[in-house]
């Protein structure tokens, strides 16, 4: 839970600063921060991906998971959900408090980085990705609060509940998954984190949400490997 606590803290501090200062960061400063975070995210993802003991397992997880994600249209679904919720709250309340809360909650919670980071934190206490996300959210909270007010600060509760729940469920899975399953899941997640880094650097806009099923497919392949080898030795 340390990563989520850190994330909540940066949102609170960022929202408070934005509300008090009432001014956005300069565009050049935002670009520099995003570039730096993108580079760090790439390194974190690469370190995780290189932990794999069999790259074919990661390949299978990514390809099959990506096909499942495209089939279920996860990326499109998340984008539609965000738009629906934002329009719903805007129509019910014209106050900046409500708009600030909803807008910031969607930005901070609806995304692959929140899911991946929380899973990593829950499985092995690795909160590196959430530390990067916390920095991103802190700067975003300053910008949001400068225009939408104190409602942005309330979004810290959304982060706590959403990411905390995923972390708690992942910690329960830690007792069910073997060490090899966790290794290959982490390596697969590392590739998705690298995709997020490419997106932050504006190099390639990868539809990362569609690859989220890979996090379940990779350990499933590990589980099935003895049966697969019995039919197809390699």
Euclidean distance between CA atoms 90 and 233, whole angstroms: 58
Residue 48: name the closest of 135, 134, 124 by CA. 124
- How far is C-alpha 15 from the geometric centre of its chain's CA atoms? 20
Q: What is the pLDDT of residue 232?
A: 67
Query: Which helix or strand (DSSP H or E) is residue 141 part of?
Result: helix 128-148
79 touches 209 (CB < 8 A): no
Euclidean distance between CA atoms 104 and 148, whole angstroms: 9
Q: State pLDDT tens for residues 130-162.
A: 999 999 899 888 888 887 778 888 889 989 999
108 touches 11 (CB < 8 A): yes
Residue 230: exposure state from Cβ atoms within 10 A (0-12, 13-18, ≥19): exposed
**What is the number of residues in the chain?**
234
Euclidean distance between CA atoms 233 and 219, whole angstroms: 19
Which residue range is the domain that position 177 belongs to? Answer: 2-231
Number of structural domains found in the chain: 1
Pick from 99-103, 117-121, 142-146, 195-199: least confident: 99-103
Q: What is the pLDDT of residue 107?
A: 80
Q: What is the pLDDT of residue 231?
A: 75
Q: What is the pLDDT of residue 180?
A: 92
Angle at 167 between CA 162 and CA 171, to 5 degrees: 155
Angle at 171 between CA 170 and CA 172, to 5 degrees: 90
pLDDT band at 32; cut points 50, 70, 90: confident
Euclidean distance between CA atoms 4 and 16, whole angstroms: 18
Does pLDDT of 36 surpass 60? yes
Euclidean distance between CA atoms 61 and 83, whole angstroms: 30
Q: What is the pLDDT of residue 121?
A: 92
Q: What is the pLDDT of residue 188?
A: 93
Q: What is the pLDDT of residue 160?
A: 94
Q: Any idea which residue has 């408090």 for tokens? A: 97
Euclidean distance between CA atoms 110 and 75, whole angstroms: 10
Mean pLDDT of 40-63: 92
Q: State pLDDT tens for residues 171-213.
A: 888 788 888 998 999 899 889 989 988 988 899 988 888 998 9
């Amino acid at each position: 839970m340390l990563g989520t606590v850190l994330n909540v803290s940066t949102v609170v501090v960022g929202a408070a600063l934005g509300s008090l200062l009432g001014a956005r960061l300069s565009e050049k400063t935002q670009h520099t921060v995003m570039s730096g975070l993108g580079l760090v995210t790439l390194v974190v993802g690469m370190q995780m991906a290189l932990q794999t003991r069999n790259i074919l397992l990661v390949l299978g997880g990514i390809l099959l998971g990506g096909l499942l994600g495209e089939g279920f249209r996860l990326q499109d679904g998340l984008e539609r959900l965000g738009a629906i919720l934002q329009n719903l709250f805007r129509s019910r309340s014209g106050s900046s408090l409500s708009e600030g809360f909803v807008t910031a909650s969607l930005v901070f919670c609806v995304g692959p980085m929140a899911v991946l980071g929380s899973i990593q934190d829950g499985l092995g206490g690795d909160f590196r990705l959430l530390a990067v996300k916390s920095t991103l959210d802190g700067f975003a909270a300053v910008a949001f609060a400068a225009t939408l007010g104190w409602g942005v600060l309330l979004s810290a509760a959304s982060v706590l509940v959403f990411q905390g729940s995923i972390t708690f469920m992942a910690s329960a899975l830690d007792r069910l998954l073997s060490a090899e399953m966790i290794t290959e899941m982490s390596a697969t997640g590392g590739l998705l984190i690298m995709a997020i880094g490419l997106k932050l650097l504006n190099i390639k806009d990868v539809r990362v949400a569609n690859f989220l099923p890979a996090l379940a497919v990779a350990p499933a392949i590990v589980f099935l490997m003895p049966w697969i080898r019995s039919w197809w030795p390699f």
